[in-house]
Amino acid sequence: MRTYFDLTGRSALVTGAGAGIGAAVAEALAAAGAAVLVTDISGEAAAKVAERINTAGGKGAGSKAESAALDVSDRDAAVAAAAQAAALGEGNLHIVVNNAGVTSPAMFPKLTDETFRVTFDIHVMGTFHVTQAALPHIPTDGTGRVINVTSAAGLTGTLGQVNYSAAKAGLIGFTKSLARELATKNIMVNALAPLAATPMTETIRTNEKFAANMMNRIPLKRWAEADEVAGAFVFLASDAASYITGQVLPVDGGMVM
Ligand SMILES: NC(=O)c1ccc[n+]([C@@H]2O[C@H](COP(=O)([O-])OP(=O)(O)OC[C@H]3O[C@@H](n4cnc5c(N)ncnc54)[C@H](O)[C@@H]3O)[C@@H](O)[C@H]2O)c1
């Protein structure tokens, strides 16, 4: 009999996990039994999430968490974090979640080289660094997963976010090409396009005009909390997704269909 969602014995590294979706994903993976390295550019924020997981007993029996400061644009820090996460999994790093992200919105004529570059550095180069650092530690027995976080912006475009949309669309190409390369190693590579009430979306949720515009686009007519979208990450990380690779899964109340 197959067990589908039990991550006991697996280790995971989640980037940008000091807040929002990343924190919820770290907690959900731990609740499913994984040992999780919670990382964030803010080491302090990451440490708080790891502490929350450990004091909750990780909800899943036997799960545990550690934390590390990791700015994903720093390759050396990514190499160190990957090794730390692998040590949590007795030499294996099963699940990599490339979640760290920023937005820097401006209408196109006002976009600067600097905001374009920083957005790419964090989303695309960051995912490149962390995944390449993790790869030597990812097992080839069918349990290895890379989960990248893209966005509806990368699938359909968004006003005032040419830099962010370009970076998120870049991650879709990244995901599909890497999925083809790593299929021979039995490692699944997928992307998820979430929508959730987090610090990142606070401005669009609290500005009356932006909020109304968003509600018109969401068929379910509500925002998800971060822990509601986290379940889809557990699914992609789990044995239930052992025959899924190179896909982009929107988890957004039906906004992209
Ligand atoms: N919230 C949404 O509705 C939504 C929609 C589509 C895509 N996303 C994507 O989901 C991911 C998480 O978004 P969120 O809403 O939780 O954002 P958030 O702003 O709430 O949290 C992002 C986290 O990333 C960290 N971070 C920022 N720069 C970093 C860096 N260089 N290295 C490491 N960590 C860094 C921040 O400190 C923060 O803890 C992002 O990739 C975002 O683009 C979010």
CA of 141 to the centre of ligand 1 (A): 30
Q: Is the CB of 119 under 6 A from ligand 1?
A: no
Confirm or reject: Cβ of 214 under 6 Å from ligand 1: no
Residue nearest to atom 23 of ligand 1 (CA): 16
To the question of pTM greater than 0.95 for the whole model, the response is yes
Q: For residue 197, what is the domain's CATH number?
A: 3.40.50.720
Matching residue, tokens 């968490």 = 65
Say yes or no: CB of residue 72 within 6 Å of ligand 1: yes
| Local confidence band at 2 (pLDDT 50, 70, 90 cut-offs) | confident
Of the pLDDT bands very low, low, confident and very high (cuts 50, 70, 90), residue 63 is: low
Residue whose CA is at the smallest distance from ligand 1 atom 1: 196
Q: How far apart are CA 203 and CA 198, in angstroms?
A: 10
Ligand 1: atom nearest CA of 149 is 41
Active site residue 4: no
* Burial bucket for residue 176 (CB in 10 Å: 0-12, 13-18, 19+): middle
Q: Is the CB of 165 under 6 A from ligand 1?
A: no
- In which band, very low, low, confident or very high, does the pLDDT at 1 lie, cut at 50, 70 and 90? confident
Render pLDDT for 96-109 as a digit per residue (tens, 0 to 9).
Answer: 999 999 999 999 99
Name the residue at shortest CA distance from atom 19 of ligand 1: 200
Contact predicate 20/44, CB 8 Å: no
Q: Which domain holds residue 233?
A: 11-250
The minimum-distance atom of ligand 1 relative to the CA of 70 is 33
Helix 226-237 vs helix 20-31: crossing angle, to nearest 10: 50
Position 3 in a domain: no
> How far, in Å, CA of 238 to CA of 7, rounded?
7
Count of domains forming the chain: 1
Task: Flag whether 257 is in a domain.
Answer: no
Q: Which pLDDT value is given to residue 62? A: 54
Report H helices in the chain. Answer: 20-31, 43-55, 75-88, 113-120, 126-134, 152-156, 162-183, 202-206, 208-217, 226-237
Asked whether 234 lines ligand 1 (CB < 6 A), one says: no
Q: What does the pLDDT look like over 132-155, one tens digit per residue?
A: 999 999 999 999 999 999 999 999
Q: 3 falls in which pLDDT band (50, 70, 90)?
A: confident
What share of the chain has pLDDT > 70, as a percent? Answer: 97
d(CA 201, CA 203): 6
Report yes or no on 126 lying in a domain.
yes
**Whether residue 59 has pLDDT greater than 60:** no
Q: Indicate which residue of 58, 162, 164, 223 is catalytic.
A: 164
Mean pLDDT calculated for residue range 108-116: 96
Ligand 1 site, residue 255, Cβ cutoff 6 A: no
CA 101–ligand 1 middle distance (angstroms): 4
pLDDT band at residue 22, thresholds of 50, 70 and 90?
very high
Asked if residue 6 is part of any domain, the answer here is: no
Classify residue 58: in a domain, yes or no: yes
Instruction: Provide the β-strand partners of residue 193.
Output: 250
Is residue 45 in some structural domain?
yes
pLDDT-based confidence at residue 56 (cuts at 50, 70, 90) = confident
Please provide residue 237's backbone torsions phi and psi, each rounded to the nearest 5 degrees. -75, -15
Which residues have C-beta within 8 Å of that of residue 39, sequence separation ≥ 6?
13, 14, 15, 16, 17, 46, 67, 68, 69, 70, 81
